[in-house]
């Protein structure tokens, strides 16, 4: 009787249906800003190394460890902290994590001690790991099941923007203020974001004790490990080229146009996120397969045409279009596979993601010294094909055919 009444009310109230089908954009944009802030806080010092080195009386190489310690903090914190805080309500946990960025960016802005600055960066990285482990599951709970993939696409827009503009924006801000002023700006953004979250983002409960699966059980849930494998191979491939894009562009006579190449990549990635958001809830498996196939084709174009500026830019456009939606696809896939363990599974994704980022720097450096930058596209092609095979074989769990939600 209740079901019939509910159906009748829905039929008689089309405005209610339309409201349920709309994304809560301003709530989701708070999550977008949190992701943007986390990546900006990580990458921004790379454009300020001379200033930071002078301010702390250390070399530029030691100043660069501010980026390293942040990444390590994010990697080591994600799984244990998210697992330990599953019972906490979601909004206070998010506020604590963003507050961590506020506090430790402020400490960095005030510090004259290199060791203290490293500690502050490490703890800020831990806060970032919590943010990344929390955002996807929290965002999905704010929308109907049929819109969860699209919601993650909105949340993911901040990532390519921060990756594309983080370093040059930090450098530009450093030319207007000193490096400490840039960290003060990051603190101000974090404080404003806390107000935004508190005012507009509804709270969600944590998990009850009976809902909290052991970490091992979540890891062995069918579909989780294939998604994590795809995360590793795809992100590793991306970061080999992304980290060493400058020496690769040198081969095409574009060594002085790294900024333009990254701008093209970033713009293409944003388009890719938009397209992925339209399709992910209906065609998760198909879009993932197509994205990896075109990513592999982009690597092939870059490998064959590495000396042609036109071919290089065509490859970069295809690379950005297909990679832009990767986080949305992979976060959606692992959350669907993990079910009640989605938050912990997302923290596993964050950890594997960061390990792949670090691996990209390591493998790319070895390749650069041993075979030169022209070897990058061929390694990308091999890794993309491996990921493609994993998706193809994960048909029953992880990347299942058809729509995510049946009508």
Residue of 23, 35, 24 lying closest to 346 (CA atoms)? 35
**Can you read off the two tokens belonging to residue 281?**
């809830």
Confidence at 11, pLDDT banded by 50, 70, 90: very low
Let me know if 297 is exposed, middle or buried by CB neighbors in 10 A (0-12, 13-18, 19+): middle
| Span 182-202, pLDDT tens digits | 999 999 999 999 999 999 999
State how far the Cα of 75 lies from the Cα of 90, in Å rounded to an integer: 21
Residue 404 pLDDT class (50, 70, 90 cuts): low
Domains of the chain: 23-210 (1.20.1250.20), 215-393 (1.20.1250.20)
- Mean pLDDT check: name the lowest of 150-154, 226-230, 399-403: 399-403
**pLDDT exceeds cutoff 70 at 345:** yes
What mean pLDDT is predicted for residues 57-71? 84
User: By C-alpha distance, which of 269, 293, 317, 305 is closest to 377?
Assistant: 305
The distance between the two most distant Cα atoms of the chain, rounded to a whole number of Å, is 74
- Whether the predicted pLDDT of 207 surpasses 80: no
**Mean pLDDT to the nearest integer, 323-329:** 89
For range 141-166, the mean pLDDT: 82
d(CA 141, CA 120): 32
Question: What is the per-residue pLDDT across 272-307, written as a single tens digit (0 to 9) for each?
Answer: 988 998 898 889 999 999 999 999 999 999 999 998
Q: Residue 365: pLDDT above 90? A: no
Distance from C-alpha of 27 to C-alpha of 200, rounded to nearest angstrom: 6
pLDDT at site 63? 84
Instruction: Please count the other Cβ atoms lying within 10 Å of the Cβ belonging to residue 57.
Output: 10
Percent of the chain exceeding pLDDT 70 equals: 92
Contact 109, 183 (CB under 8 A): yes
Residue 21 reports pLDDT greater than 70: no
pTM score above 0.85: no
Q: pLDDT at position 257, please?
A: 80
258-276 burial, b for 16+ CB within 10 Å, e for fewer? beebbbbbbbbbbebbebb
Mean pLDDT within 87-98 = 93
The more confident residue out of 208 and 50 is 50
Average pLDDT of the chain to the nearest whole number: 86
Answer whether residue 375 shows pLDDT above 90. Answer: yes
Q: Is the pLDDT of residue 97 over 80?
A: yes
User: Is residue 12 pLDDT above 60, yes or no?
Assistant: no
What average pLDDT does range 374-401 have in this prediction?
93
Comparing 298 with 82, the larger pLDDT belongs to: 298
Q: Is the pLDDT of residue 7 over 50?
A: no
SS (H, E, C) the chain: CHHHHHHHHHHHCHHHHHHHHCCCHHHHHHHHHHHHHHHHHHHHHHHCHHHHHHHHCCCHHHHCHHHHHHHHHHHHHHHHHHHHCCCCCHHHHHHHHHHHHHHHHHHHHHCCCHHHHHHHHHHHHHHHHHHHHHHHHHHHCCCCHHHHHHHHHHHHCHHHHHHHHHHHHHHHHHHHCCHHHHHHHHHHHHHHHHHHHHHHCCCCCCCCHHHCCCHHHHHCCCCHHHHHHHHHHHHHHHHHHHHCHHHHHHCCCCHHHHHHHHHHHHHHHHHHHHHHHHHCCCCHHHHHHHHHHHHHHHHHHHHHCCCCHHHHHHHHHHHHHHHHCHHHHHHHHHHHHHHHHHHHHHHHHHHHHHHHHHHHHHHHHHHHHHCCHHHHHHHHHHHHHHHHHHHHHCCCCCCCCCCCCCC
**CA–CA separation, 131 vs 374, rounded Å?**
36
- CA 197/CA 193 separation, integer angstroms: 6
Residue 206 in contact with residue 86, Cβ under 8 Å? yes
Flag the least confident range among 72-81, 96-105, 159-168.
159-168
* 3-state SS string for 191-254: HHHHHHHHHHCCCCCCCCHHHCCCHHHHHCCCCHHHHHHHHHHHHHHHHHHHHCHHHHHHCCCC
pLDDT class of 255 with cuts at 50, 70, 90: confident
Share of the chain above pLDDT 90, in %: 43
Residue 383 near residue 233 (C-beta atoms within 8 A): yes
Q: How far apart are CA 228 and CA 230, in angstroms?
A: 5
């Amino acid at each position: 009787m209740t079901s019939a009444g509910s159906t009748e009310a829905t039929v008689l109230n089309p405005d209610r249906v339309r409201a349920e089908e709309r994304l809560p954009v301003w709530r989701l944009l708070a999550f977008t800003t949190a992701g943007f802030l986390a990546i900006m806080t990580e990458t921004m010092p790379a454009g300020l190394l001379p200033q930071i080195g002078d301010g702390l009386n250390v070399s530029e190489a030691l100043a660069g460890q501010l980026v390293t310690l942040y990444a390590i903090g994010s990697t080591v914190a994600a799984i244990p902290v998210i697992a330990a805080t599953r019972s906490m309500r979601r909004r206070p946990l998010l506020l604590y994590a963003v507050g961590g960025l506020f506090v430790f960016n402020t400490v960095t802005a005030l510090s004259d001690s290199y060791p203290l600055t490293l500690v502050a960066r490490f703890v800020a990285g831990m806060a970032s790991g919590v943010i990344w482990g929390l955002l996807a599951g929290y965002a999905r709970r704010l929308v109907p099941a049929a819109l969860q993939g699209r919601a993650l696409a909105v949340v993911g827009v901040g990532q390519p923007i921060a990756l594309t503009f983080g370093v040059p924006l930090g450098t530009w801000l450093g030319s207007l203020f000193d490096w400490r002023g840039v960290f003060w700006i990051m603190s101000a953004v974090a404080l404003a974001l806390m107000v935004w979250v508190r005012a507009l983002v509804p709270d969600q409960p944590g998990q009850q004790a009976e809902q909290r699966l052991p970490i091992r059980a979540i890891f062995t849930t069918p579909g989780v490990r294939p998604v994590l494998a795809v995360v590793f191979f795809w992100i590793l491939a991306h970061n080999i080229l992304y980290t060493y894009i400058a020496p690769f562009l040198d081969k095409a006579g574009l060594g002085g146009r790294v900024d333009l190449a990254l701008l093209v990549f970033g713009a293409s990635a944003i388009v890719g996120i938009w397209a992925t958001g339209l399709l992910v809830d209906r065609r998760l498996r198909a879009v993932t397969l197509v994205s990896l196939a075109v990513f592999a084709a982009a690597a092939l174009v870059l490998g064959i045409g590495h000396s042609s500026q036109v071919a290089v830019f065509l490859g970069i456009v295809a690379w950005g279009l297909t990679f832009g939606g990767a986080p949305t696809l992979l976060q959606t896939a692992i959350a669907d596979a993990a079910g009640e363990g989605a938050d912990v599974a997302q923290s596993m994704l964050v950890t594997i993601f960061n390990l792949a980022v670090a691996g990209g720097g390591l493998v790319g450096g070895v390749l650069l010294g041993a075979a030169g930058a022209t070897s990058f596209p061929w390694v990308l092609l091999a890794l993309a094909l491996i990921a493609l095979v994993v998706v193809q074989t994960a048909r029953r769990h992880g990347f299942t055919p058809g729509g995510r939600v049946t009508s």
